[in-house]
């Protein structure tokens, strides 16, 4: 059996395992949470959801379907186990067809701007309707030095380029991890982040400021304008559109933090917690206790936010968390890091990526041309 047929047989077994009754509830939840891509039809969308569930979804128990499959099939060969583990490295994107080499397509991913040689478990015939210049929305998994199409393909004509460039930019902004498969993109993002941090420090004199909710937009806009002026002094480009959640604008206080690893973050009711760590007895009040609990348990709040609160007074932090967790003798310097790793494990399990996503000049020109023409609206 050749590599492609072997991979196809193994994938079929894995997908059937993912569709078995033991995963019904969690798979149904995955379908409910999904926001199907408007550019993909329902069959393709369903195929992608199942494919993501089988290869990447983190189950409630913390492991994956692949982990469960490996435990349930101890007789798999070392090669099969290695292939399954390799399938965690999934490439998602919108691909431009650049050509065909024997039974493989040469694809350029608009999201990460890398080129892939992709093959199909259905052989060369699967690519017969596909011509140079067309676009595919699909998922790829490793197959030796090449890649294998995983799940169904959604095919678009060459004249859909503008629509797909916009879609690719949106995908990259929503999920920078897909862009940063490209090491050059990640290196560029880190350079941009370092430059932006200098701007923030020059503007505000510190790595975070605490403001009222209604002051968030003006402060953030001022920072964005300063970044644009640094890159192109005197430019008149409009600021990038940014929609602030209502809870941010309605908060009494918000910390605007420039994290050197990720970029700008907003932490709600940060001033309230500053009061708490200055006066640990406030932990006895419900509002302070619930706000700190939301910081500790909130999956979208970085450990960096808690460190900003605890670093000025680590002894007070020990008292606060000791009372919150009902742990006598709790010491922040001694126990704080393990506490963060327990409650914020995802921030430690993988490198934190910049939220600033660099784009190519081609993509930048496209996005600028897509902006409304203000003169025509007057």
For residues 98 and 218, membership in a common domain is answered with no
Question: In angstroms, what CA-CA distances link 108 with 113, 118, 167, 357?
Answer: 6, 10, 15, 18
Is residue 371 assigned to a domain? no
**Opening angle at CA 300, ends 326 and 111, nearest 5:** 155
167 & 206 share domain: no
147 in the same domain as 15: yes
The predicted-structure confidence for 57-111, as pLDDT tens digits, reads as follows 999 888 999 999 999 999 999 999 999 999 999 999 999 999 988 889 999 999 9
Is residue 48 packed enough to be buried (19+ CB in 10 Å), middle (13-18) or exposed (0-12)?
A: buried
Residue 308 shares a structural domain with residue 231:
yes
Predicted local confidence at residue 351, as pLDDT: 86
- Token reading at 62: 């913390």
pLDDT digits (tens, 9 = 90+) for 113-168: 999 999 998 777 778 889 999 999 999 999 989 999 998 888 999 999 999 999 99
Considering 131, 161, 179, which residue would you say is the last residue of a domain? 179
369: in domain? no
Q: Are 194 and 321 found together in one domain? A: yes
Could you tell me if residue 355 is inside a domain? no
Total domains present in the chain: 2
Nearest to 360 by CA among 179, 233, 227, 194: 179
In a domain, 265, yes or no: yes
Give a yes or no: residue 274 inside a domain. Answer: yes
At 266-297, the pLDDT tens digits run 999 999 999 999 999 999 999 999 999 999 99
User: Are 190 and 171 found together in one domain?
Assistant: no
Does 175 share its domain with 208? no
Q: Round to whole Å and give the CA distance between 137 and 39.
A: 8
Q: Which domain holds residue 67?
A: 3-179
303 and 172 fall within a common domain = no
Q: How far is CA 304 from CA 219, 309, 325, in A?
A: 21, 9, 20
Q: Is position 373 within any domain?
A: no
Tell me whether residue 279 is in a domain: yes
- pTM beyond 0.85: the answer is no
**Vertex 297 angle, CA 292 and 299, to 5°:** 125
Q: Check which CATH number belongs to the domain holding 56 and give it.
A: 2.40.50.140
Comparing C-alpha atoms, which of 352, 358, 172, 356 is closest to residue 261? 352
Q: What are phi and psi of 59, to 5 degrees?
A: -75, 165
Same domain, residue pair 197 and 232: yes
**Are 274 and 130 found together in one domain?**
no
The average confidence (pLDDT) of the chain is 90
What confidence tens digit (pLDDT) does each residue in 250-265 have?
999 999 999 999 999 9
Q: Tell me if 29 is assigned to some domain.
A: yes
Note whether 34 and 161 are same-domain residues. Answer: yes
* 202 and 125 assigned to the same domain: no
Domain boundary among 158, 179, 200: 179
Examine the fold and report which residue of 179, 200, 228 is the final residue of a domain before the chain moves on. 179
């Amino acid at each position: 059996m050749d590599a492609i047929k072997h991979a196809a047989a193994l994938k079929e077994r894995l997908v059937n395992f993912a569709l078995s009754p033991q995963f019904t509830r969690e798979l149904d939840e995955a379908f409910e949470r999904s926001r199907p891509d408007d550019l993909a039809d329902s069959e393709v969308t369903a195929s992608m959801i199942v494919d993501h569930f089988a290869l990447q979804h983190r189950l409630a128990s913390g492991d994956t379907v692949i982990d469960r499959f490996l435990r349930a099939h101890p007789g798999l060969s070392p090669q099969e186990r290695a292939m399954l583990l390799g399938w965690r490295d999934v490439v998602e994107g919108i691909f431009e067809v650049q050509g065909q080499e024997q039974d493989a397509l040469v694809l350029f991913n608009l999201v990460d701007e890398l080129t892939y040689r992709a093959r199909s478990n259905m052989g060369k015939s699967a690519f017969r309707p596909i011509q140079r210049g067309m676009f595919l929305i699909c998922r790829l998994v490793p197959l030796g030095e090449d890649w294998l199409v995983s799940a169904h393909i959604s095919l678009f004509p060459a004249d859909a380029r503008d629509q797909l460039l916009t879609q690719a930019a949106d995908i990259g902004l929503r999920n920078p991890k897909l862009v940063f498969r490209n090491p050059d993109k990640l290196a560029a993002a880190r350079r941009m982040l370092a430059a932006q941090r200098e701007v923030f420090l020059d503007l505000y004199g510190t790595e975070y400021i605490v403001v009222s909710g209604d002051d968030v937009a003006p402060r953030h806009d001022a920072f964005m304008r300063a970044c644009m002026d640094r890159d192109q002094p005197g430019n008149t480009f409009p600021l990038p559109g940014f929609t602030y959640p209502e809870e941010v604008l309605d908060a009494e206080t918000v910390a605007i933090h420039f994290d050197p690893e990720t970029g700008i973050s907003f932490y709600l009711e940060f001033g309230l917690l500053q009061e708490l760590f200055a006066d640990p007895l406030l932990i006895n009040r419900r509002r302070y206790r619930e706000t700190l609990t939301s910081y500790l348990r909130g999956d979208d709040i970085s450990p960096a936010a808690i460190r900003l609160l605890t670093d000025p007074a680590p002894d007070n932090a020990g008292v606060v968390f000791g009372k919150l967790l009902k742990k006598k003798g709790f010491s922040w310097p001694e126990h704080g890091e393990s506490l963060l790793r327990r409650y914020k494990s995802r921030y430690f399990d993988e490198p934190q990526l910049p939220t600033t996503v660099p784009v190519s000049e081609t993509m930048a020109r496209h996005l600028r041309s897509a902006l409304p023409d203000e003169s025509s609206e007057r």
